[in-house]
Chains A and B, each alone.
Chain A
Amino acid sequence: MSDPFDGLRSFDPGLDPPDTRVIRARAQRIRRRRSVELSAGIAVVLAASVFTVFVKGPDTAERQGSRAAPAPTPAEQLGEVALGEAGGSASVAGSPLPPGPAGGATVTSPTTGSVVVTAGRTSSAQRLRIELELSDERATPGIPAVFRLRVCNDGSAEVAVSFPTGQRYDFEVASGRTGALVWRWGAGRTFTQATGTERFPPGCRLVGEESWNGTDQSGRPVGPGTYLVTGILTSSEPRRSATKTICSVTC
C-alpha cells in the first residue's frame, strides 16, 4: 500500500533565509529579556526583605525568610514562547507590564514619601503611561522622522522608577510585513552599567527624542512599506509604548 503522505517529501516553501544579523539581533533581545527577568526576580526578593524589615521589624523578617518572594523564573524554558516581539504585532493600546512575580514590590520611602517601583504589577506602575509621538506618519528620504517618548504619571504622587543601566529609553522600528526588527536606536551604543532611579512627578515628561532617517541597522535605506515604531522606557521592568505605524516612501 502506498504511503499517502509521500507527497509531502518534496514540500519546500522555497523561502530565502533571513539575514543572520536579524537572527543575532533577536538573540540579543532574548538575552536582555532573560537578564531583566533575573534582575527583576532578585529585586523582588531584596525589596520584599527590605519591606519586611522596615515595616515589620527584623524579627519578623527572619521568621518570614522562608516566605520571601519566589525564586526568579528560569532564564530558558523550552516551549515557553515570547513570539511577536519587537513590534511584530501592531497593538493598539500600550502593552501592559510583563508578568512578574505575584504581588510585585512597592516600597514607600520613609524619607521622601515617593513610591519606588522595582518589579511586578503595582498600582503605581500602572499610573505611568508611556507615550510615543511621531513627527510625521511618513518617512521621506532626506528628512528624518523624529520620535519622542513621554512618560505620564496619571496619579497624584511621585513615582520613582529604577533602571539597570544608564540607558533610559530606546526606539525600535520593525517591518510591518514580517515583524522583524530593522532598526533600534540603542544598538551599538554603550551605556554606563550603573543602576539609577528617575522620579516622575504627576504629569507628563519628555524622556527621549531621537530621529530615524529611514535606514536599517547597517545604514541601508529600508524598502517602501509600512513600519512599526515602538518607544521603550528601559527601566528594570521595561515599559513599551503603543506601536505606531510609519510609512516609508509608499504604503
Chain B
Amino acid sequence: MTVLPPPRAPTPPTRSLAPGPVARVQGLALLAVVLLVWQLRGDPASPFFPAPSAWWSALLELHAAGRVVPALATTLGAFLAGLVTGTVVGAVVGALLGRVRGVDRAAGPTLEFLRALPPAAIVPLATLLLGFGAAMKVTVVGLAATWAVLLQARAAAGSLDATLEDVGRTLRLSRWRWLAAVLAPSLAPAVLRGLRLSTSTALVVTLVAEYLTGARGIGGLAAEAQRTFQPARVYAMLVLAAATSVLANALVTAAQARVATGRTRD
C-alpha cells in the first residue's frame, strides 16, 4: 500500500527556474526573441521604447565619457559595505535575541514594526540626519540587510541543538571560546540564508538612495537620464543593474555552498 508523501515545503522563490547548464543557455531563448522583435520593430529614436542597439550605444557613450566604471564602483561599494555591516549586526543581534528570552520579548514589538517598514522609507530621514554621503547610504543599506539575517540568526540561535551547549560544558570552554568555536559556525548557514534573502532588497535600497540624492552610482545616472529624457541611457542602466544583481546573487550562492559543505540540513 503506497502511503502518500508528506506535504513538501513550498519552493523558496529565490530558486532559479532553470537548473542545469544546458537549460540555462536554452532559457535565454525567450529573452533573445523579445530583444530581437524589439530591435526589428522598434524605432531607435522612440521616446519610450528605444531599440536594444540604442541601449548599447548609450552605454558605450557613457563609458567613453568615463562614467560607467565609477558609477559601478560607487554602487557596488555602498551595496557591499552596507550588506556586510547589516549581516554582521543582524547576526550578532539575532543571536542575542535567540539566546536571551527576556531581551527577545522586550524588543519584540519594536522589531516587528521595523521589520514591516519598507526600508526605502528610511532614506529621507537618513538624509536629514546623515547627509548625502556614503555614510548615509551604507547605514540605510545596512538597516535593510539586517532584518532577514537577524530573523534567521534568531531562529537558528533559539533552536540550537542541546548537545552543542553540552560540548561547551564538557570541554570546559570559556564563554568567548564557545561563542567563537561553536555558536558562530553553527549559525553560519542561517546567516548566509538571510544574506541571500536580503541581497536584492539591499541593492534596491542602494539604488533608491542614489536616485533620491542624485549620487554618482547607477541609480544617480538613471535619475539623470530620466530627467534629461534619454530613455536609451535609462535602459542601459537597467541592464547594468540587472547584471550587478546577478553577480551579487551568484557570489552569495557560492559562499552559501562553501559553508554548507557536509551539512544535510538546508
State yes or no: do A and B come from one complex: no
Which residues of B approach A to under 8 Å, CB–CB?
none
